[in-house]
Chains A and B, each alone.
Chain A
Amino acid sequence: MATKTATSDVIPWDKIDMLLRHRTGRVLLAAITALLVYVVLSGTGIGPEETSTRIILSMVVGCLLWAHLVYGAWLVKRELQGLFVIWGVVTVVFFLRFLTPGDPTIALTPPDASTDVREQLARRLGLDEPLYVQYADYIWNLVTLDMGRSLRTQVPVMDLILIRLPATIELAVAATLVAMVIAIPLGVISARRRHKPADYSATLFSLVGISTPNFWLGIMLILYVAVTVDFLPTGGRSIGFAAAWGGLLMEGDFDGISRWFAQLILPAITLGTFFTALLTRLTRSGMLEEIGKAYFKACQAKGLPETIILYKHVLRNTLIPIITVLGLQLGTLIGGAVITEFVFAWPGLGRFLINSIHSRDWMVIQGIIIIIGIGFVVINIAVDAAYAYLDPRVELR
């Protein structure tokens, strides 16, 4: 009893409670935690070595905390479901190796691999053990975040992946931003000027956009744009996000940020075009559907300015179902990122995956697939949460 009183004296629980009920309070708490995590990580030197990876890690922790504060039990339930899906992914990956024709240590190792390496793989996969032992070992390794070592370079797979992850995330986020910034206004204009030239051009653009293979689009951009505009490189990633923005903010270095921007433009357009087109289409048809609803007439009858009707009422309601569709198209985004990275020599996970398949480095392939599966699950949960946030009729239970 005494200790309880003491703690409640020292820590103002009611104030904290109030803080946590408030939107800004939760954000603040999460931000502080993220900062703390970062300070601890860089102070003690544990965890990933790269600064950008550290920043990402602490941001992830902050976001997780915030999400749990906001969504509570619902999020935990979704996480459990997500774990189930990840377990499924992992299991499928486990069984993939039995589909390989012939001796897996040959099919799953680089063509020039030494006997040592093949024995290492055999040991790692536990090939001479009974199946259930192999499976249990495999799961246990994953649970302990041990993905083994690359059969080619002997570097831990986890490190290889973490180094490349930021580049992929950067590309995917940039493409999504490009898509949203272009597609939403385009869809709105198209719906407003229905059956006018602007509408027809937007429609034509979206048709061609969803029909263009993005690797070819990337090549065309290199061929016709990058060679004429010297500002734009034809590929590669010479500077990372953290270095570019850090340089700008800390040292006022504009050169880094402009290089960062230039290298990102063409890949982002390449990856984003499909989604721009899809989103334009969805926005247009969604807007038209919403405009047909009775509340649109009611808004007009009230005399609301058109801006408010279109953007506050109609667009918002249009975006709600679109979010679900985009969640389903996430696989396309990731697949597109793989191929965009390949075209632009972008040093991310996708190019790494393709190279690893060409060099038959099974440990790496397996690791990348699992990471992509996890990413997919996480983003899907985020999509559902966003859906519920926008649509008050959906209750998170």
Chain B
Amino acid sequence: MTEILRVEGLTTRFFTDEGQINAVEDVDFRIHEGEIFGIVGESGSGKSVTALSLVDIVEKPGQIVSGRIWLRNPHLADSIRSDNPDAVDGEMVDLRSINPRLRRALRGSAFSMIFQDPMSSFNPSITVGEQIAEAVEVQRRAKANPRSTASRTQGFGLGQFAMATVLPSKRFVTPAGRDRAIELLELVGIPDPAQRAEEYPHQFSGGMLQRAMIAQALASEPDILLADEPTTALDVTIQAQVLELLEEIRDRTNMTILLITHNLGVIARTCDRVGVMYAGEMVERGTLTDIFRDSVHPYTQGLIGSIPQLDQVKGRLQPIPGNVPSLRAAELGDRCYFADRCPKAMKRCLEKPPMFDVDGSEKHRAKCYLAEQPYDEGDALPEDYFDG
């Protein structure tokens, strides 16, 4: 299986008035073509910020501090190999090292995103069809005129906008785009798509709108689909349907999907490989079996222990006593961030654990000393160590 995405040392921080927040800290993972990679973790563990960092839409005061995001894109690799050899590795291109305009032009075509709450992720005052058609249009224009996409206005500045308000033929969205939007709505199983395309988001039900959102994400024919908790806001029965739809898309088009959730049930039924995030770090990653049967990180074990049945889609995680730490750099300290909640914390854990290969396989890795040594009760931290 070919690797399509390789993230190395991704670190994203928010520099707020109240201090620095390390939302994503030194995250590594790889995704292969056609697989569904899951990221799981409690609320506030940095899953969404990871996704936003990939698309490069982290808003101020947030900033991607370091890291490399290697994306397989042979065409782009060839075109910039001579100018910027550092940014190219075989067929992979490092999105962090290329020109920001080029990177922005890849929005939509490299990654497209499905958000948690479809109701607020569609503009309430523009028809659903039009919004999907916009996504189609962005890619169509990029293909038709590759050079304009690298300009600041992406070929559509204020002048064009003013003209479009007067001349319907100059509008951003063309009839062809609208037709494609209707096709896409049909593809994701929305009945009567031509009419639905003319309707506004508030006229859709939540499940229907999430389907429309998936259609919008597919519109740009992305290399990787980022689904950030696509089912959290939906009813249980609808959740299953949406997941089925995602799987169906993957099976039919060999689409690569990064699925973010805090529901291990969802992970268990859809994903091929999994990364577990805690306090901005990816603390363990591996195949589904690695994580569900052979996990070494006590946090992962806690997560799994907390769900009664693996294939039950329902139920949020309320696994381990205690709370996710605040990600303020000042309060984090330099230890295993999980130590205060870890039932197996040892003295050694007051020093930050590096990433270990588990059982010598670099496919299964964990940020925990238990990957290289068994739990040593003699060395355990006193229970009330963090209370004071």
Contacts and interface: CB of A to CB of B under 8 A. Distances in A.
- Do the two chains belong together in a single complex? yes
A305 interface: yes
A304 interface: yes
14 contacts: A294-B117, A297-B113, A298-B216, A301-B112, A302-B134, A303-B135, A304-B138, A305-B157, A306-B153, A307-B157, A307-B160, A308-B134, A311-B161, A391-B124
A180 B44 CA distance: 42
A308 B122 contact: no
Contact of A317 (B105, B121, B123): B123
Interface in B105-154: 105-109, 111-113, 115, 117, 120-126, 134-135, 138-139, 142, 153-154
Contacts, number: 100
Interface in A287-304: 293-295, 297-304
Interface string B147-188: 000000111111011000000000010000000000000000
B317 interface: no
Contact of A313 (B55, B126, B157): B126
Interface residues of B, number: 41
B104 interface: yes
Contacts of B142: 303
A320 interface: yes
Interface of A: 293-295, 297-308, 311-313, 316-317, 320, 390-393
Nearest to B202: A393
Contact of B125 (A298, A299, A304, A391): A391
Contact of B112 (A295, A302, A320, A393): A302
Nearest to B141: A305
A304 B134 contact: yes
* The 6 nearest A-B residue pairs measured at CB: A303-B108, A303-B107, A305-B154, A305-B156, A301-B113, A294-B120
A308 B161 contact: yes
Nearest to B116: A294
A305 B138 CA distance: 8
Nearest to A391: B125
Contacts of A302: 107-108, 112, 134-135, 138, 216, 220
A308 B155 CA distance: 11
A295 B216 CA distance: 12
A303 B105 contact: yes
B52 interface: yes
A153 to B, nearest CB: 48
Contacts of A295: 120-124
Contacts of B105: 303
B204 interface: no
A311 B121 CA distance: 17
A331 B125 CA distance: 29
B102 interface: no
B52 A297 contact: yes
B115 A294 contact: yes
Nearest to A300: B57
Contacts of A300: 55, 57, 107
Contact of B156 (A297, A308, A317, A392): A308
Interface string B63-77: 000000000000000
Contacts of B220: 302-303
A228 B161 CA distance: 38
Nearest to A319: B125
Nearest to B157: A307
A307 B159 CA distance: 10
A393 B125 contact: yes
B111 A301 contact: yes
A392 B124 CA distance: 8
B149 to A, nearest CB: 8
B292 interface: no
Contacts of B135: 302-304
B205 to A, nearest CB: 15
A42 B129 CA distance: 49
